[in-house]
Chains A and B, each alone.
Chain A
């Protein structure tokens, strides 16, 4: 993360701009920056996606492994998040330096996905109490340019959309259970992500608020609200962060904004995922070589 040190004058400039709905890069308060998305670029994973928004670059990989369901949820599979902040992003993350940020992103992802109605874990169960799929969602942060939570959630949703779990047939033979895992790359089970949430971070700057804050704007912001928003306009996992406070009226405004923007974000994400899928094998993988 490039260190941002702003003088008071610069902060005032940004605050006044935000008040007049004109931000330092010319965006309005509810506009996102340009987002680039590519799925299926890592052949070692069951699903992968790379998202780049301005300078923020996140790679998400999903790996499906067989395991046993936890005893209090016998008929459900599991979804585990792991976030790693690569030192490529900033030397501060070297060694264990990025762990705090990683845990924060991981907690928020876990919290927003922690509701049965937005992500169906029962579809991941193979034999109740015995076998289920565990989806390890690994998020790798390669470069930071602000707004990490939103980008991480977009990458996760895209990677889950791209996930193709091999079909499993269960046969019981004299009490012994046999699992046969299909090795046909087309005989697969998809993961339902239609109702999965995207995170929208709303930053309070001065008396107004913005979405998709840049690094400079994040430096001016004392309180921000992260919220998971689904396509159905429901809200999962709201959380206020930072050392500032909000008055109840502006809290409501911020949640309204988050909901409105989140709905659009979900929609355009699904559109581009479908578009990419439609291109199918005609599309050449780009990866980092562009």
Chain B
């Protein structure tokens, strides 16, 4: 990409952020009334809706039933108009299926699954607009939705991506940075215990720099946690005060 400078000499990125700065995160709990829990997250220009149903009886075939824990069922889909080039199908393609699987693994690790044996929790994620970091925004939205549904978890799950540009790591990369060919690391952590529940890397990165980038991503996750936690507290106090009156 000629003429496109991803990192200026002054250390500013293409959207004006510094290397350690996240995009603006805005979120809301309880967007829908029919779902048991729902949330909406905006990370810069990436916009994601999540809805949670459950825990409820297993739907469909009983063979999926687990005797000792809850079945976490996820679906990741992208609106056909979410990308700059129109998508033909909202789900069912390989990428969405992979995302679905990753979400499932992440939330299996975070939800206290043994509390609801022989039942099912549905987590549905819908990407309305995509500008890089879809997975991170999806995880963050789904966490809020699960909290909104009142399902017990070990901790929030916060996800953040990071990359390595020039000779410094950058956090929360957008679509342009994602598609520039630089490596991408996506991490989901449980911030309090600092456990990593999901880690994925694309592209090529020198071994020496790996820990720097992962540290950057984990730091990003903790920043995300701050924002999510504040939103949840505000939401709960709002709901609480409306109950009092």
Contact = CB atoms under 8 A, between A and B. Distances in A.
Chain A in direct contact with chain B (Cβ < 8 angstroms): yes
B75 to A, nearest CB: 5
Given A44-B83, A63-B86, A87 B77 contact: yes
A52 to B, nearest CB: 10
A57 B32 contact: yes
A89 B51 CA distance: 8
A136 B82 CA distance: 13
Contact of A88 (B26, B38, B73, B83): B38
Contacts of A84: 77, 79-80, 90
A289 B82 CA distance: 18
Contacts of B122: 87, 91, 94
B112 interface: no
Contact of B81 (A57, A138, A144): A138
A59 B127 CA distance: 12
B80 A136 contact: yes
The A interface, classified by DSSP as helix, strand, loop or mixed, is loop
A61 B86 CA distance: 10
Contact of B28 (A43, A61, A94, A289): A289
A194 interface: no
Interface in B1-42: 26-28, 31-35, 38, 40, 42
Contacts of A201: none
B79 A89 contact: no
A90 B81 contact: no
A140 B91 CA distance: 13
Given A43-B129, A59-B128, A143 B75 contact: no
Most B C-beta atoms less than 10 A away, residue of A86, A95, A287: A86
Given A1-B34, A42-B129, 18 more contacts: A42-B47, A43-B45, A44-B130, A55-B32, A57-B32, A59-B128, A61-B80, A82-B80, A87-B75, A88-B38, A90-B34, A91-B59, A91-B122, A91-B124, A140-B128, A145-B34, A288-B31, A289-B40
Interface of B: 26-28, 31-35, 38, 40, 42, 45, 47, 49-51, 53, 59, 73, 75, 77, 79-84, 86, 90-91, 122, 124, 126, 128-131
